[in-house]
Amino acid sequence: MIPNNLLDKEMIKMKDTELRIVLAVARKTIGWVKDSKTKARKIEDWISASQFSKLTSRTSWPVSNAIDGCIKNGWIEARNIKGEPLDTREKRRRIGRGGKIFYRLGMVFLEELKPFYKVKTKQQKVFTKKEQKSKDYKRNPITKENNGKANINLFPHNTKSKRKLNPAVAIIIGFYSNLVQQKKGFKPEIAAADGSRIKQLLERKESSLTEDDIKKRLEWYLGSKKCKDLEDVSIKTALSAHSLNQYKIEEHKDPLLYE
């Protein structure tokens, strides 16, 4: 299902990759019927960078530029898991690969798409006038109980468990968060996978790393070409096997071999 407004007016304004991005978002959202009886369709969906690359046949850098252009032109919208708009490249970069970015078609297609969101079911909420405005739509609104503060949950899929965070993991996360803020100007979002990766490196039986070892590798990653190319500051990526191998090569290279 493709909005008529896209074909009649907006398509001629788009670059090739931008059109591919909009079509990919359309396919992943209104292209899916949530309820076969009411024909209600999805409003938004989590789409990863790898999914965009696969759907558009474009590499990560053109995809990133096209997403930025589509959002600026109002063709698509992006939000984090709390429903907060991610309308700049910097905000989306903070999510990193450890978090999720949810996409939907933009306000320019809203009037045409409203009929598909009006059906009220147990799974589908009524699409009200307030929700038509992007800034008013909240997937998980702030309540009085949390005093407007978003708490970082390192184990979001295990809410019943009272797991205690390893003190060394907490120290490393705090160190890296401050380091990113100093060098990049913002605080990175911390995901459950980040804490798990640090714990894995600290506790693995063979060739385990110390707290200082991990800090050195995180500091190296922020200044590396890989971080610049990926625009990803997540701890999971910074401590991936590929990143650790690159650190080992660059920091311990033999001048006789690498000249």
Read out DSSP for the chain?
---HHIIIIIGGGS-HHHHHHHHHHHHHTTTSBS-TTT--B-S-EE--HHHHHHHHT--HHHHHHHHHHHHHTTSEEEE-TT--B--SHHHHHHHTTTS--EEEE-GGGHHHHGGGG----SSS----HHHHSGGG--SS---TTTTT-----S-TT-SS--PPPPHHHHHHHHHHHHHHHHHHSSPPPP-HHHHHHHHHHHH-SSS---HHHHHHHHHHHHTSHHHHHHT---HHHHTSHHHHHHHHHHHS--HHHH-
- Class of the 4-136 domain? mainly alpha
Q: What pLDDT shows up at residue 252?
A: 65
pLDDT per residue of the chain (259 residues) written in tens, 0 to 9: 678 888 888 899 999 999 999 999 999 988 888 777 777 788 888 998 889 999 999 998 899 999 999 999 999 999 988 888 998 888 888 886 667 899 999 888 877 776 665 544 344 444 444 444 444 444 444 444 444 444 444 444 444 444 566 788 889 998 988 888 888 888 888 888 888 888 888 888 776 788 888 999 899 888 888 887 777 788 888 888 888 888 888 776 544 333 3
- What are the backbone dihedrals phi and psi of residue 173, each rounded to the nearest 5 degrees, phi first? -65, -45
Domain-wise residue ranges, the chain? 4-136, 167-258
State the pairing for strand pair 102-105/76-79. Answer: antiparallel
| CB 18 within 8 Å of CB 70 | yes
Are 17 and 66 in contact by the 8 Å Cβ rule? The answer is yes
Q: How many residues does the chain have?
A: 259
pLDDT of 124: 41
Find tokens 């970069």 and name the residue. 93
**Which residue is associated with the tokens 């396919």?**
27
CA distance 187 to 90: 11
Rounded to the nearest angstrom, the gap between the alpha carbon of residue 66 and the centroid of all alpha carbons in its chain is: 16
| CB-neighbour burial class of residue 228 (10 A; exposed 0-12, middle 13-18, buried 19+) | exposed
Please give the pLDDT value at position 115. Answer: 64
- Based on its alpha-carbon atoms, the radius of gyration of the chain, rounded to whole angstroms, reads 21
